[in-house]
Structure 1
């Protein structure tokens, strides 16, 4: 009986230990997902590491140091970067379609390019005044043949726009993963902005001064130099901090302002031509979109007025993104006019 009792007691103790171990294991297994889930919660501004603090007026719905897989998948979830990601990702696909459209409409032929065909197939992109201009230019210049117009400045601009939009979208998606990723993505974002600004002047300069290689090469070299200098300066780590937001904006604005010189030269040399007036109008509208966007970006309005009310939608960076896409598309329309102008004009 004593032996049996002892055996039963030992068995009970084993069962108790086993139960205790099972309970402990269960608690551990349950706590691990909870801890993991806690890491994936959206947090407020005060809980962020320093490298993610960019705008104190956006107070909630932040992703902070998420695992890479969850960071990538968050493109389909709601947080304060969702619209920042999608405004430029949609813009990227718009320009991808525009590139495909241009490749199908603009053959790599010489001056024999049928501008009247452009009039009939591109009605969505070119207004009535521009189509009338193309018709008159085509009819008055039909005798010019044999002058090959390079397409690369036009496609370089499209590539620059797509690179900018894609890098911006990727930056907003991935920067929350870790400090190193944020460091890399911010620099790619700055490079994309510089690429967009520089490439936007290539159709303007190349097609306006096709027949004047000295000024063509001078202006292209100058704007390219300013772009590379801006990228190099942006690589400095100090530019990461939020306090340098105005400096970054001024730097990019100065680079864009360097394009005013070839535009002024164009108007002095070709101001009597309707193409010059029309393209300058497009460039003025493009500049307006960019300037307004930069002002909103630096001022951080409207969230400055009502902190926390624009965490998900309507914040300054989202408005800035929309204005960038609008400005880039406006320049695309102007580039069509430049290309059509040189197709029928030659030298």
Structure 2
């Protein structure tokens, strides 16, 4: 009796201690859907394994534990590191890779020339080239025959080609010096020699804008799924960041398509780029509304993002009309159609909550709709990366 009285008195004297102990006991307890606060209730077909209002430290550590958001976090976190690696690879390796592929197209139609004599004859005409402030460096590049970028027979290089045709031996050329066949009929050795004169690299910013949008989307999504269970305020912030990432990915996905398709038509290029950018900003602003995140607006969210992607059909059809006879246009369109299928199927799965709606509780840990949606997003973005490489190769080799 006296002992019980003492315990009660200790409890009244140290209420914080008891509260902290209770909080500690429920810290790692995963709750059921019906026990969640309203802001965490999104999918009633996922029954258990929820984290609810955990301390921030434990929320961060939960990235290594098993719950119904584990695969949501890791599918996009791995995707983020994948695109980070692709961005670094593209910045460092892609120009050289494209360069080597371009040079392989030169047919071996001539016997090996006397390269030493060719060097002497070529150096003799170098002073006639305009804007050559560093002649020593250029001669060194020619001597080593090391092209650093793609051959680009654009209008800006015709003057250089004409000078070369006057200076180099006639046996190295076939046809008129203003014909593209002048370049295509040279032996690879000659192509290597003149390649440094043809440096007109196509701007890469639309392609890197897409890669940046993909990384932002994947990282913000992964962060949202990890942290939103901490508190209602943090959940609100993280969801807005997640929606902004989705809008950024969709918008920037059309930057390479539009820019490289219409770079020679500034009006349409600016029109399409401006439209998709404004649409993305508008979607971000709509997503700031509190009502946007409610479960009953799931289909509206899916429809809004699907509509953004669907708007990209116009520039793609326009591209096909302009370049209907070009294989590059058809190949890039094939990748873009595949990308659209990945995004569309993923969005449909997300909106219908398949397969967990068929067997509630069976897909709590793995296999539910949001995880499948994440996989389709990564697949779609990776497909579009390959389309971007085709655009770069196409425009690097031809220009406008």
Q: TM-score range by the shorter chain?
A: 0.7 to 0.9
Counterpart of 1:177 in structure 2 is 230
In structure 2, how many angstroms separate the alpha carbons of the residues matched to 1:140 and 1:299? Answer: 54
Counterpart of 1:168 in structure 2 is 221
1:292 corresponds, among 345, 349, 360, to 345
The answer (yes or no) to whether the contact 1:115–1:340 under 8 Å persists in 2 is no
1:210 Cα deviation (Å)? Answer: 1.1
The answer (yes or no) to whether the contact 1:88–1:321 under 8 Å persists in 2 is yes
Counterpart of 2:63 in structure 1 is 75
Counterpart of 2:380 in structure 1 is 327
Counterpart of 2:311 in structure 1 is 258
1:37 Cα deviation (Å)? Answer: 2.4
In structure 2, how many angstroms separate the alpha carbons of the residues matched to 1:54 and 1:93? Answer: 28
Task: Choose 142-151 or 93-102, whichever is displaced more.
Answer: 142-151
In structure 2, how many angstroms separate the alpha carbons of the residues matched to 1:22 and 1:240? Answer: 45
2:78 corresponds, among 75, 90, 97, to 90
Q: 1:264 to 1:59 in 2, by over 3 A?
A: same
| Residues 2-151 of structure 1: pairs in structure 2 closer than 5 A | 20=6, 24=10, 32-107=20-95, 114-116=99-101, 145-151=198-204
In structure 2, how many angstroms separate the alpha carbons of the residues matched to 1:32 and 1:239? Answer: 35
In structure 1, how many angstroms separate the alpha carbons of the residues matched to 2:369 and 2:98? Answer: 43
1:148 Cα deviation (Å)? Answer: 3.3
1:115 Cα deviation (Å)? Answer: 4.5
1:39 Cα deviation (Å)? Answer: 3.5
Q: Deviations over 1:163-184 (max 9, x none)?
A: 0000000000000000000000
1:145 Cα deviation (Å)? Answer: 2.9
Counterpart of 2:165 in structure 1 is none
Q: What SS does the corresponding residue of 2:341 show, helix, strand or coil?
A: helix
The answer (yes or no) to whether the contact 2:206–2:256 under 8 Å persists in 1 is yes
For structure 2, the 5+ residue unaligned runs are 105-149, 154-179, 186-190
The total of aligned residue pairs comes to 314
The answer (yes or no) to whether the contact 2:76–2:222 under 8 Å persists in 1 is yes
The normalised TM-score by structure 2 is: 0.73
Counterpart of 2:331 in structure 1 is 278
Q: 1:175 to 1:118 in 2, by over 3 A?
A: farther
1:271 Cα deviation (Å)? Answer: 1.5
In structure 2, how many angstroms separate the alpha carbons of the residues matched to 1:106 and 1:210? Answer: 20
